[in-house]
Amino acid sequence: MSQLGGFISLCGINPPSRWLAIAMLALSLAPGVAVAATPRTSVNDVEDEVMCPICGTLLELAESPQAQRERALVKRLIAEGRTKSEIKDVLVAQYGRAVLALPSGSGFDLSAYLVPAIAFALAVVGLGVGVSRWRRASRPPPGDDAQSKGPRGDDAERLKADLARYDL
């Protein structure tokens, strides 16, 4: 602070006005900081969210003359300092809602978001039920121990005879 005070006193500003000079300096720098903090819209940022109305593909992938005109319009609007939402509004006004790549979050378009989520939830539930049934089927029934499994009757006698023959 002493270096700043020395600089201000060298400029001919007396100590009571020193705080006023510091406040003026801070206020003069504030608009530059605010402008730097707002992100600038780019063509690539808009191209991946809008469609070419002729080919029906994303604008970033489209090569038709209409796509070139739409891209030029986007560039002009960016040069005017418009935000992404303002650019989308202009494109919707000129080409209709079909120009937007993402469906709206209301009405029938809402199903584009809900159907995959519901299908995934049903698949998880179905998988859980299937795994639990599979595990239940692989368990031995109650009261049936591992000793009782195996051949019975004539088969058990024949197995004992065969095993006795191969004893070393």
pLDDT of residue 3: 53
Cβ partners under 8 Å of residue 144, min gap 6:
none
Query: What is the model's pLDDT at position 120?
Result: 97
pLDDT for res 93: 92
d(CA 47, CA 31) in angstroms, rounded, equals 30
Residues 6 or more apart whose Cβ sits within 8 Å of residue 47: 58, 59, 60, 71, 74
Return the pLDDT at 19: 67
pLDDT in tens, the chain (168 residues): 455 555 545 455 555 566 666 766 666 666 655 554 556 778 888 888 898 888 888 888 888 898 899 999 999 999 988 898 899 999 999 988 888 887 777 778 788 888 999 999 999 999 999 999 998 887 766 665 555 677 888 988 998 888 888 876
Residue 90 is predicted with a pLDDT of: 92
